[in-house]
A and B are shown apart, each in its own frame.
Chain A
Amino acid sequence: MTPPATGLTPSVTGARPTGRTPPARSGRKRWRVAPGYLFLFPSAAILLVFVVYPIAQSLWMSLHNWSLFSSSHPFVGLANYRTMWHDPRFWNALRNTAVYTAVVVPGQVGIGLALAVALQRNSLVNKFLRSVFFFPVISALATMGIVWKFLLDPQIGIITHLLVSVGLPDIGFLQSTTWALPAVIAVGIWKSAGFSMVIFLAALQDIPRSVMEAAIVDGAGPWPRFWRVTLPMLRQSALFAVVIATITSMQLFDQVYVMTSGGPLFHTDTLVTYLYQVGFQDFRSGYAAAISWVLFLLILLVSMLQLRLFRFKETD
C-alpha cells in the first residue's frame, strides 16, 4: 500500500518562484513536513467535524434519552435498543426493507446482466437502447416517484387504465395494503437496472476476445458460452453489483416517501422512512440514532455475508 520511498522533497529554498514561496524563517524541517498536512487539511477538517465525530456522537446519542430540544439527555444505556426490540413499527419497517431488498437486488442485477449481454455488441441500435435503459439512473427518484404515483393512480393512471382494459381488476396500487410494496419494488427495479447494466457492460468489454474465440472454435454454443465462459469471468463485477445494490436498497427512502409516505397502514414503511419520522418529525434523536446504528450493522453484516459467499464459491 505504501508507495516506494523515493528521494525526499529537497529543500526548495532559493528555487525558482513557482507557486507558493517557502516560509521566510528557518523552516527547513517544517517545510518538508508541512505540505502533506496543508493539502490534507480541508478534507480532514470537514471529515472530522461532519463525519467522524458525528459517527461517534450518533453512538453516544443512541445510549441516551436524547431529544433535540431538551437540555438534559439522561443516560439510559441500551434502553433505546430494548425499545426497538419491542417496537412493532421497527420490525414492520425491517420486514418491508428486507422484502424490498430481497426482490430488488436479484431483479435489478439479473435484468442488468441480461440487458448487458443482450446489448454488448457496439451497434447503433444497441448503443441507443443502452442509453434508454440507463436514463432512469440519471433522473431524480423523488421526482420520478411523483410521476409513477400518477401513472398508478386509480383515476388518471395510464397503467391502471391499461390493466383494467385487458380485464384485470382495479387493484388501486398505492392504496392497497397488498400492492403498494410491489409497486415500490417495481419502481426500484425500474430506476436501478440500468446501473447494474453499466457495471456488467464494462466487465464484458474486459473479457479478452481470444477467450471467446477459443470457446467458439471448441464448438461451444451460445448457452454453454454464457454459462461456462462469460458468467465466471463476470464474478468480480457481479459481486460488486450485488453489494452496491444491497446497500442502496437497504437505504430505501425517496420513492416511498413520495409515493406512499410509508402507507397504507405502514405497509411500505422502511427503516429509513421510520428513522426519518422518529428523528426529524418526533425529534427523538436518541432513538433515531439507535435505529441508524442497527441499519449500519445490518448493512455491514449483509455485505460481509455476500463477500464471504462469493469468495467461498471462488475456491471450488
Chain B
Amino acid sequence: MSTNPMTSRPPVSIRGRTSYLDGRWRWWRALPAATKWVLLLAGAAITVLPFLWMLGTSFKPESDVFGYPLRLQPTHPTLANYAAIWQDLPFLRLIVNSVVFAGGVTACSVFFDSLAAYALARLRFPGRNLAFYLVLATLMVPFQVTLVPVFQLVFQLHWLNTYQGLIVPRATSAFGIFLLRQFFITVPRELDEAARMDGASEWYIYRRIMLPLAKPALATLAVFYFMNNWNDFLWPLVMTSNTNMRNLPAGLTLFAGQYVVEHGVLMAGAVISLLPLAVAFVLAQRYFVQGIATTGIR
C-alpha cells in the first residue's frame, strides 16, 4: 500500500487510518497485528495440544507417561500400544460396530430423507402440508425427550444390543428431510416437468434427475450424519450394555473407566478412532464445513 498523494494527509480524526498511510514505521504501529498473531498462535497451540499429547502418548512406553519432566513426545517411541489395543479390548469389534452403526445410519438416512424430501418438494397429495409441518415440529424437539420411551420400545422389541436397535430409530431425521426439501425446491421445475411429459415415472425423475443434481447436498448431509454418529456417545451408551456392541467412543470410555488405565494403549485407540474422520476432513473439508455453513445462512 504505497503512499498516495491524494490521501497522504488523512483526516486525523479517524483512528487507525494514519498507521499505514504516512509511511513511517513505528514499533507500536505493529502492535495490533503482533497481538493478533500472538493470540492466534496461542489459541492454535491450545487447540492442538490434546491431539499432540494423544498422538505422542500413543507411542510412549507407560514409564514415559509418568516420567519427569512431562513431555509431549516419547523418549523411546514404541508401537507396543498399537499392538496391545487389539488384545486389551475387543477393539476390532468396536471398529466394526462404529462402521456398521455410522455407515448404516448414514446410508439409510440419506436415502429415506431424499425420498421424503422429494415427495414434500415435488409431489402433490392430500396431507402433504400436514406431513411437512410435522417434520418441522419434530425438528424442534431435543432427542433426550424421546430417549426414555424409545429405550423402552427398543427393549420391548428385544433390540437392545443389536445393530437394528442402534440404526433403525435413527434411519431418518427431520433435519435431513428439511435440508433436502429446501434444496429440491430450488431445482427448476422445467427439468422434471419435461421428463414427466415424456412419461417418465416419479421414481425415474427422482433417481435420474433430482439425485444427480443434489449430489453436493447429499454429500454434505452424508458427512454430517457420518460424523455425528461416528462420534456419538449417549445413544450407543443407552442402547447397548454389552461391550461387544459399543461404538468406539462408548467402548473406549468403558475401557478408561473400568480397568487399570494404560494411558498409551487408550491413546492408541483414540488415535485410531479419530483417523477416519481426520483423513476424510483433509480430503473433503468443504463437505464438513458446508453442513454447518449452509444451515447457518438460512
Task: Report which A residues bind B (CB closer than 8 A).
Answer: 1-3, 5-10, 12, 14-16, 18-20, 22, 33, 35-37, 39-40, 42-44, 46-47, 49-55, 57-58, 61, 68, 111, 115, 118-119, 129, 131-151, 155-159, 161, 190, 194-195, 198-199, 201-203, 206, 219-224, 237, 240-241, 247, 251, 253-254, 257-258, 272, 275-276, 279-280, 285, 288-289, 292-293, 295-296, 299-300
Name 14 A/B residue pairs within 8 A (Cβ), A-sorted: A14-B199, A15-B198, A18-B199, A35-B123, A35-B202, A39-B119, A46-B168, A50-B150, A135-B281, A141-B233, A199-B293, A221-B16, A240-B296, A300-B140
184-212 of chain B: CB within 8 A of chain A: 185, 189, 193, 196-204, 206-207
If A46-B169, A57-B149, A132-B48 touch, does A141 touch B231 (CB 8 Å cutoff)? yes
State the Cβ distance, B69 to closest chain A Cβ, in Å.
Answer: 8
- B123 & A39 in contact (Cβ 8 Å cutoff): yes
State the Cβ distance, A116 to closest chain B Cβ, in Å.
Answer: 11
Chain A residues with Cβ below 8 Å from B40 are: 115, 118-119, 129
- A219 & B14 in contact (Cβ 8 Å cutoff): yes
- CA A192 – CA B277 in complex, angstroms? 17
- A220 & B14 in contact (Cβ 8 Å cutoff): yes
- B53 & A158 in contact (Cβ 8 Å cutoff): yes
- Work out how many contacts link A and B, with CB atoms closer than 8 A: 305
- B147 & A292 in contact (Cβ 8 Å cutoff): yes
User: Do most interface residues of chain A lie in helix, strand or loop, or is the interface mixed?
Assistant: helix
State the Cβ distance, B102 to closest chain A Cβ, in Å.
Answer: 11
Chain A residues with Cβ below 8 Å from B126 are: 33
If A36-B128, A143-B249 touch, does A47 touch B134 (CB 8 Å cutoff)? yes
State the Cβ distance, A140 to closest chain B Cβ, in Å.
Answer: 4
Chain A residues with Cβ below 8 Å from B296 are: 198-199, 202-203, 237, 240-241
Chain A residues with Cβ below 8 Å from B193 are: 6-7
- B189 & A146 in contact (Cβ 8 Å cutoff): no
Q: B66 contacts the other chain (Cβ, under 8 Å)?
A: yes
Query: 0/1 per residue, B60-77, Cβ < 8 Å to A?
Result: 000001100110100000
